[in-house]
């Protein structure tokens, strides 16, 4: 899951970024509203966290521009405690949720999970394909009831694939959602991580869930 942070206070931005990266999300940061809009138009983000008071383009204008272009990325706005009317305007302009500063990082992470859950249409949040189960709240992954230990990147890749079960995922799609802007497209890092996941998820099981789609990419499905 790839998240955009648009926040001009470097301390706040890097605090949020670190917390999200520890939770396995891929994160890009913009400190300017105009740049933030360009990023949100260029990359299919799974979520955007948007400060309202921004240089360049105010957060509210950025949000309106996104919605005017039918970009449906869930948006969480950050507001100061005094900005009640801004909060209301933000929600009216298409924000999905808000958080007032200062906020606890645990609350921010919970709201991020809730927004991603809502976007995926599954109220419980638990992802399941056959006997493979992933809990985004705890990061626990099991196959046939056995715990599977994954690194942060392996987990992020598996979560993205499980949220898109049955769809062919091309390497560009995977890199857009699982890696951030520092991703080097000339490496075979995706194929390497797929092989790590196969070792941990499929090895020793009769039914394999991760499939190569020749010439296209990869797919996670039980029906193949
Ligand atoms: Ca600000």
pLDDT in tens, the chain (224 residues): 999 999 999 999 999 999 999 999 999 999 999 999 999 999 989 999 999 999 999 999 999 999 999 999 999 999 887 788 888 999 999 999 999 999 999 999 999 999 998 887 777 789 999 999 999 889 999 999 999 999 999 999 999 999 999 999 999 999 989 988 777 766 789 999 999 999 999 999 999 999 999 999 999 999 87
Strand, helix or coil for residue 162? helix
Is the Cβ–Cβ distance between 84 and 92 less than 8 Å? no
- pLDDT, residue 204, reads 94
Go through the domains of the chain in sequence order and give each one's CATH number. 2-120 (3.40.50.2300), 127-220 (1.10.10.10)
Is the Cβ–Cβ distance between 182 and 189 less than 8 Å? no
Q: For residue 29, report the distance from its CA to the centre of ligand 1, in Å.
A: 13
Q: For residue 149, report the distance from its CA to the centre of ligand 1, in Å.
A: 39
Q: For residue 80, report the distance from its CA to the centre of ligand 1, in Å.
A: 9
Element (H, E) at 90: helix 84-92
Strand, helix or coil for residue 31? coil
Q: For residue 180, report the distance from its CA to the centre of ligand 1, in Å.
A: 23
Q: For residue 70, report the distance from its CA to the centre of ligand 1, in Å.
A: 25
Q: What is the pTM of this model?
A: 0.83
Q: For residue 120, report the distance from its CA to the centre of ligand 1, in Å.
A: 29
Q: For residue 142, report the distance from its CA to the centre of ligand 1, in Å.
A: 41
Q: For residue 106, report the distance from its CA to the centre of ligand 1, in Å.
A: 21
């Amino acid at each position: 899951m790839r998240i955009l942070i648009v926040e001009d206070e470097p301390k706040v931005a890097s605090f949020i970024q670190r917390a999200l990266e520890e939770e396995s999300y891929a994160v890009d940061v913009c400190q300017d509203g105009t740049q933030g809009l360009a990023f949100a138009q260029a990359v299919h983000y799974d979520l955007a966290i948007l400060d309202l008071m921004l240089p360049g383009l105010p957060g509210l204008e950025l949000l309106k521009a996104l919605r005017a272009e039918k970009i449906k990325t869930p948006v969480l706005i950050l507001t100061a405690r005094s900005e009640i009317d801004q909060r209301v305007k933000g929600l009216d302009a298409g924000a999905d949720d808000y958080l007032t500063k200062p906020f606890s990082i645990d609350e921010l992470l919970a709201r991020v999970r809730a927004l991603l859950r809502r976007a995926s249409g599954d109220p419980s949040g638990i992802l399941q394909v056959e006997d493979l189960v992933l809990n985004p709240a705890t990061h626990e992954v099991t196959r046939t009831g056995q715990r599977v230990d994954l690194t942060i990147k392996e987990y992020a890749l598996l979560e993205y694939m499980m949220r898109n079960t049955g769809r062919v995922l091309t390497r560009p799609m995977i890199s857009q959602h699982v890696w951030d802007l520092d991703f080097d497209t000339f490496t075979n890092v995706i194929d390497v991580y797929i092989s790590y996941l196969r070792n941990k998820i499929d090895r020793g099981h009769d039914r394999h869930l991760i499939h190569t789609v020749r010439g296209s990419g990869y797919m996670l499905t039980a029906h193949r």
